[in-house]
Amino acid sequence: MKPFDFARPETIEDAVAMLDARPAGHANGSALLAGGTDLLTLMKADLSAPDRLIDIKRLAELDNRIEEDEEGLTIGALVTLAQLEEDPRVTALYPALAEASSLAATPQLRHMATIGGNLLQRPRCWYFRNPHVHCWLKGGDECQARQGENQRHAIFDISPCVAVHPSDPATALLALDATVRLRGAAGERELPIADFFAPPTAERCTETIIRGDELIVAVRLPAAQGWRSTYLKAMDRKVWAFALVGVAAALRVDEGRVIDARLALGGVAPIPWRAEAAERLLAGSDISAEVISHAAEAALDGAQPLAKNAYKILLAKALVRRALMALSG
């Protein structure tokens, strides 16, 4: 890690001001430190070299609590994956999120990792993480993965970058229709998680639309009456690996008829991927093995595998079928 300064603001406002400011000599700007589990790995590989870390874990206003009201659940940005895995309201009403959290990383990391940081973690693409490679996402000319070792990469080609988003909870949150509340120099805004994530573009080489002066304050979940949800994850080994494919499904079923469906896939695109065609197919249908099969096909419609990752299509279809079966049973 390169040297940096360390600051501990008292208020969110101070933190925002610090993010916004560029003190002399701080060419690389500041970065927020939450659990540090992604940021420090980037800094150790010299992929990120902020001049100052702004520790937000002790900001009194930034919550590490989960609050319930009639509109749903508010999850403070500092809530850890361990909390999400265990919280009785989350396990009961939003099982996809609890399951995704419990399948992420390891017990130690889940104690450290916050939900805010989890949404903002950078790709695990092995070219991106290798300091010797100056790939497109790092400002270079070329994506090395497209013609390279792309077995862990995206099957939906929506950006010059084909890295996959590494987060499990993000996939679950997408299927649960979460919103993200941000606070920055221009005040507060709240947007659907589907709009929060956006494939990297040449102008914005990141996976979200968060502005440089903004903090995630909370993640909010709508009320969950009638919904059932689940998250399934395929890994290279039994635990402690990023998803080859993750599937989050949420269904509202009434007497065998699907009223509403939401389906999200992880490990398939640079952002958590919403399978809308499949959702449309499911909505209003009488749930059956056949419908589920069609939905699984529809979910992967438009997938364009790279040379070494066609297997992900099959894997994703299998997981989609399983997740829907589990929810309809």
Q: Which residues bind ligand SF4 (CB under 6 A)?
A: 123, 125, 127-128, 135-137, 143-145, 153, 161-163
Closest contact distance (angstroms) between CB of 25 and ligand FAD is: 20
* CA distance linking residue 193 with residue 120, whole number of Å: 12
Closest contact distance (angstroms) between CB of 202 and ligand SF4 is: 11
Classify each residue of 173-188 as buried b or exposed e, where b means 16 or more C-beta atoms within 10 Å of its C-beta. bbbbbbbbbbbbeeee
* CA distance linking residue 86 with residue 91, whole number of Å: 7
215 is a site residue for ligand FAD (CB under 6 A): yes
Query: Which segment (61-69, 143-151, 251-259, 282-290) binds another protein by CB under 8 A?
Result: 143-151
Among the listed residues 8, 18, 28, 41, the single contact to ligand FAD using CB under 6 A: 41
Site string for ligand FAD, 112-151 (x = CB under 6 A): xxx-xxx-xx------------------------------
300 is a site residue for another protein (CB under 8 A): no
Contact (Cβ atoms closer than 8 angstroms) between residue 167 and residue 208:
no
Q: Which is nearer to another protein, 72 or 169 (CB)?
A: 169
Q: Which partner in another protein, ligand FAD, ligand SF4, none is near 114 (CB below 5 to 8 A by kind)?
A: ligand FAD
Residue 8 to residues 29, 53, 184, 309, Cα–Cα distance (Å): 15, 8, 17, 44
DSSP state of 208: B
Q: Which partner in ligand FAD, another protein, ligand SF4, none is near 315 (CB below 5 to 8 A by kind)?
A: another protein
Closest contact distance (angstroms) between CB of 246 and another protein is: 13
* CA distance linking residue 106 with residue 109, whole number of Å: 5
Q: Which two tokens stand for residue 126?
A: 């092995």
How many CB atoms are closer than 10 A to CB 225?
7
Q: Which is nearer to ligand FAD, 77 or 194 (CB)?
A: 77
Query: Which segment (157-165, 240-248, 258-266, 274-282) binds another protein by CB under 8 A?
Result: 240-248
Q: Which two tokens stand for residue 62?
A: 């930034």
* CA distance linking residue 110 with residue 124, whole number of Å: 17
* CA distance linking residue 83 with residue 65, whole number of Å: 9
Instruction: Provide the H-helix boundaries in 147-196.
Output: 168-175, 193-196
29 is a site residue for another protein (CB under 8 A): no
* CA distance linking residue 125 with residue 148, whole number of Å: 11
Q: Which is nearer to ligand FAD, 95 or 166 (CB)?
A: 166
Among the listed residues 126, 160, 211, 293, the single contact to another protein using CB under 8 A: 126
32 is a site residue for ligand FAD (CB under 6 A): yes
29 is a site residue for ligand FAD (CB under 6 A): no
